[in-house]
């Protein structure tokens, strides 16, 4: 039996992962499930799957979790340290599906034990790519990307030598406001931004899809994971979300990965890698689809893409600053403090302010420095947003 742990089990990716494990329950021993505020779901799944331990990120919810687990025999734990300890429990496969920078420490703890890490938490690579890749290398761990575009690139590469890769093209649906008049974006509400044309995902990543901050993170993620230069990564709007990514080789040939927009495809690929197994996803009927369309992204509509370029060119800890500032700006938008279009503005200003503090972005790439940069960027984002009110 394979020992598996799911970090972020109560979320959208976590639940899809559980769906796949549930279909072949005898093949897996569930080590740890972690969640945040959704104690009922966490306890229900932990009991059902016979997990060794269930962990909530929030100390104040430990009693609730204990009560919900009752006499089931599943151990309960809470807090950031407990999350990291859960990730460090011996396991053959760990799904990293916590949202945001909170996933960094647990993800690193899983890699420290040299396991296979299925990485949905893209923020881990954006904030600390060099550290994460180095940890995987030095501890003999393997990272399999779960973000659909990166899983698609990984699959299209098929183990081919990166030296023959000229460029990688990540597709983007364009999000909720793809066809809105650009002047209207200022007045977009969080509810409007949280509806995705094709994918069913968590609220935060869905809003990030509308602003293309999600794609901005993904461009940086691709650079870190595949070791590409910034100008080797392109973004293409593809409203149907059937082609997830394309890999262009030096001979001009392009290999694409297609599939229905269902995250169980990328999750299942990572779960079964290096083999392939049947997955309960819709099969594409290309004749019925008739056509697939593509267009270049309008950079005025999606300023986050330009910010990603700046971050990649700047290097160092700029990714950690970018991710943290984005998370705070998104909090500000969801809370109604800033407008949809203010988010990119806030992030751009935070990057400028941090750049103006000598030595910060070029500090050595240690976990402490990444976390310090994360704090600093959140602090500056709060300042910038407070000044606007």
Going residue by residue from 280 to 319, which x/- string records binding to ligand NDP, judged by CB under 6 A? ----------------------------------------
Residues in the interface with ligand NDP (CB under 6 A) total 28
Identified binder of ligand NDP from the candidate list 45, 52, 64, 123, rule CB under 6 A: 123
Residues that bind Mg ion (CB under 5 A): 147-149
| Residue (of 6, 4, 112, 116) closest to 55 by Cα position | 6
Burial of 136: CB neighbours in 10 Å, binned 0-12, 13-18, 19+: buried
Least separation, in Å, of the C-beta of 19 and Mg ion?
19
Which CA distances in Å does 85 have to 53, 91, 191, 290?
A: 11, 12, 36, 50
Q: How far is the CB of 212 from Mg ion (least distance, A)?
A: 11
Beta bridge partners, 94, equal: 5, 117
Least Å distance, CB 310 to ligand NDP, is 21
Distance CA 10, CA 374 (A): 25
At its nearest, how many Å lie between ligand NDP and the CB of residue 227? 20
In the stretch 241-280, what mask flags binding to ligand NDP with x, by CB under 6 A?
A: ----------------------x-----------------
How many angstroms separate the Cα of 160 from the Cα of each of 36, 226, 231, 329?
39, 12, 20, 39
Nearer to Mg ion by Cβ, of 123 and 149: the residue is: 149
In the region spanning residues 16 to 55, those forming contacts with ligand NDP, defined by CB under 6 A, are 35-38
Q: Is 10 in the site for ligand NDP (CB under 6 A)?
A: yes
- Across 88-97, b (16+ Cβ under 10 Å) vs e yields bbebebbbbb
Q: Does 14 bind ligand NDP (CB under 6 A)?
A: yes
Among 147, 262, 327, 380, binds ligand NDP (CB under 6 A): 147
Asked if 5 touches ligand NDP (CB under 6 A), the answer is: no
Alpha-carbon distance of 233 to 130, in angstroms, equals 18
Three-state secondary structure along 320-379?
Answer: HHHHHHHHHHHHHHHCCCCCCCHHHHHHHHHHHHHHCCCCCCCCCCCHHHHHHHHHHHHH
Q: Which of residues 182-201 bind ligand NDP (CB under 6 A)?
A: 199, 201
Determine the angle formed by the axes of helices 318-334 and 122-139, rounding to 10 degrees.
Answer: 150
Residue with nearest beta carbon to Mg ion: 147
Nearest distance in Å: CB 34, ligand NDP? 6
Query: Which residues lie near ligand NDP (CB under 6 A)?
Result: 8-14, 35-38, 57, 83, 97-99, 102, 120-123, 147, 199, 201-202, 204-205, 263
């Amino acid at each position: 039996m394979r020992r598996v742990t799911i970090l972020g089990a109560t979320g959208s990716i976590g639940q899809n992962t559980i769906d796949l494990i549930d279909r072949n329950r005898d093949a897996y021993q569930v080590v740890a499930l972690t969640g945040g505020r959704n104690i009922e779901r966490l306890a229900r799944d932990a009991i059902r799957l016979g997990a060794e331990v269930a962990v909530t990120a929030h100390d104040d919810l430990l009693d609730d979790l204990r009560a919900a687990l009752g006499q089931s025999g599943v151990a309960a734990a809470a807090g950031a340290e407990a999350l990291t300890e859960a990730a460090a429990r011996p396991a053959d496969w760990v799904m990293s599906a916590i949202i945001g920078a909170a996933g960094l420490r647990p993800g690193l703890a899983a890699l420290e034990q040299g396991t296979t890490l299925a990485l949905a938490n893209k923020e881990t690579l954006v904030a600390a790519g060099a550290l994460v890749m180095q940890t995987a290398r030095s501890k003999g761990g393997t990272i399999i990307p779960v973000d659909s575009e990166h899983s698609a690139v990984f699959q299209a590469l098929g183990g081919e030598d990166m030296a023959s890769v000229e460029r990688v093209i990540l597709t983007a649906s364009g999000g909720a406001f793809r066809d809105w008049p650009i002047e209207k974006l200022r007045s977009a509400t969080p509810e409007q931004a949280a509806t995705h044309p094709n994918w069913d995902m968590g609220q935060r990543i869905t809003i990030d899809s509308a602003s293309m901050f999600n794609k901005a993170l993904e461009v940086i993620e691709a650079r870190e994971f595949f070791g590409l230069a910034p100008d080797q990564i392109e973004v293409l709007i593809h409203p149907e979300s059937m082609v997830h990514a394309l890999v262009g080789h030096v001979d001009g040939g392009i290999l694409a990965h297609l599939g229905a927009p269902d995250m169980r495809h990328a999750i299942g690929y990572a779960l079964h890698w290096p083999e392939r197994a049947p997955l309960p996803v819709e099969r594409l009927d290309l004749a019925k689809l008739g056509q697939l369309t593509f267009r270049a992204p309008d950079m005025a509509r999606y300023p986050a893409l330009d910010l990603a370029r700046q971050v990649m060119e700047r290097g160092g800890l700029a990714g950690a600053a970018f991710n943290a500032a984005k998370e705070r700006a998104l909090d500000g938008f969801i809370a109604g403090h800033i407008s949809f279009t203010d988010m990119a503005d806030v992030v751009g200003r935070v990057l400028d302010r941090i750049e103006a503090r000598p030595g910060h972005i070029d500090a050595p790439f240690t976990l402490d420095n990444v976390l310090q940069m994360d704090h600093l960027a959140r602090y500056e984002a709060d300042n910038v947003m407070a000044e606007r009110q």
